[in-house]
Amino acid sequence: MKYRGLSPSSGQPIEVEVADGRICSAAPVDAKDISEWIAPGLIDIQVNGFAGVDYNSPTTPLDEIARSIEVQRGSGVTRLLPTVITGSHDNIRDSLANLARARRELDAGEAFVGFHVEGPWIAPEDGPRGAHPSEHVRAASLEEFERFQEAAEGNIRLLTLAPEVPGAVDIIDKLVERGVVVSIGHSAASGKDIAAAIRAGATISTHLGNGAHEMLPRHDNYMIHQLAADELWAGLIGDAIHLPPPFLKVAVRAKGVPRTILTTDAAPPAGGEPGVYRFGHLEVELTADQCVRLTSNGRLAGSALSMDRGVENLMRHADLSLEDALRTATVNPAESLQIEDRREFLKPGDLADLIFFELDEETKAVRVVRTLSGASN
């Protein structure tokens, strides 16, 4: 099969040839009247649920999980990490087991390239803990992780923890040895703690700028230490709600495009209608202004963002080019999580996950026209 579209790198028409689900070639072509752009499929490393579907419930039906994947495909997402947040041991374990069954049994399960466990080994205090339930925050335990990984059928690929939590730094290298990428998040860590986590093998900051105190020391604080650490990729929620546009722009400039990862941190209400939803142990409300908040205290609890809107926002608010904005949502997450076959931009040999979209050059609005995954080509 051959597909044509405008290249985000050159702005000129290219032809991508695909066979057996992989890209054979991608080369300029002499063609006119091509208005659609072509790019690799988007990868979201932090999705708590979507389209009313909760990945944090052990009883979520598989057909509902399949529907949520299909809705995300409509926004250009071809691969994602369903994310399970802080909760009771049983809820985390059983939710992971349900997701593993979905990955194994659903035709669309190939979209799950791994699972993200966010917590429960995070800061207990208000602010850094974010919306995570305080009663389930606890010390880090390799034994507990192994029970999670067994339930997940070996699919945990990313784990977020706070380095200052007892036992956390001590197990980072052991998690890395097991093939798990470790991210710093929901943390009030000192610079010393962050440095220790990096030495042990931590390589990402989870939704940097969020899960934090309202007030911080102006110079010596955990945001600055993570922004300054060249070893860390920075995950950024690009909804212009979690991060005001000036912070988003500064964070991207500090980390540089090569170390920036666009993510949604989407909660179950994302892609749905305003109203009240379940999110693991939590009750949240999607408001008319597209905020997801705890019904108990109004704190943000994930987002209603889709990845295509996030790409728009990086162009609008961080002054990124189309190609750079797409890189933060495609090759960067693939490289940071060591996802093979997706570390370059339309490179021969890569999986033929492709999206076709229209772009309004003035407003930066993106409209995904169709999405193809490698296995279906």
Task: Identify the CA nearest to 110 among candidates 136, 141, 151, 77.
Answer: 77
Q: Which two tokens stand for residue 328?
A: 């933060």
Q: How large is the average pLDDT for residues 307-318? A: 98
Task: State the chain's mean pLDDT as an integer.
Answer: 96
Indicate the pLDDT class of residue 340, thresholds 50, 70 and 90. Answer: confident
Task: Identify the CA nearest to 289 among candidates 298, 281, 279.
Answer: 298
Place of tokens 């087991």: 97
Three-class SS of residue 153?
A: coil
Q: How large is the average pLDDT for residues 126-146? A: 97
Is pLDDT at 343 greater than 80 in this prediction?
Answer: no
Is pLDDT at 376 greater than 70 in this prediction?
Answer: no
Residue ranges and CATH numbers for the domains of the chain are 41-342 (3.20.20.140)
pLDDT tens, 201-231?
Answer: 999 999 999 999 999 999 999 999 999 999 9
What's phi and psi for 316, nearest 5 deg?
-75, -45
Is pLDDT at 171 greater than 90 in this prediction?
Answer: yes
Query: Prior bond to 120 cis, omega within 30?
Result: yes
Burial environment of residue 231 by CB neighbours within 10 A (0 to 12, 13 to 18, 19 or more): middle
What is the DSSP secondary-structure string of 63-101?
A: HHHHHHHHHHHTTTEEEEEEEEES--HHHHHHHHHHHHH
Indicate the pLDDT class of residue 374, thresholds 50, 70 and 90. Answer: confident
Q: CA 365: distance to chain centroid?
A: 21
pLDDT for position 272: 95
pLDDT tens, 295-304?
Answer: 999 999 999 9
Cα–Cα distance, 137 to 152 (Å, whole number):
20
Three-class SS of residue 314?
A: helix
Is pLDDT at 280 greater than 50 in this prediction?
Answer: yes
Cα–Cα distance, 249 to 243 (Å, whole number):
9
Is pLDDT at 26 greater than 60 in this prediction?
Answer: yes
Is pLDDT at 67 greater than 90 in this prediction?
Answer: yes
Q: Going by C-beta distance under 8 Å and a sequence separation of 6 or more, which residues neighbour residue 3?
A: 15, 16, 18, 38, 354, 356, 372
pLDDT tens, 266-279?
Answer: 999 999 999 999 99
Cα–Cα distance, 105 to 113 (Å, whole number):
14
pLDDT tens, 44-58?
Answer: 999 999 999 999 999
Is pLDDT at 90 greater than 60 in this prediction?
Answer: yes
Indicate the pLDDT class of residue 341, thresholds 50, 70 and 90. Answer: confident
pLDDT for position 321: 98
Task: Identify the CA nearest to 10 among candidates 369, 347, 364, 323.
Answer: 323
Q: How large is the average pLDDT for residues 249-256? A: 98
pLDDT for position 342: 82
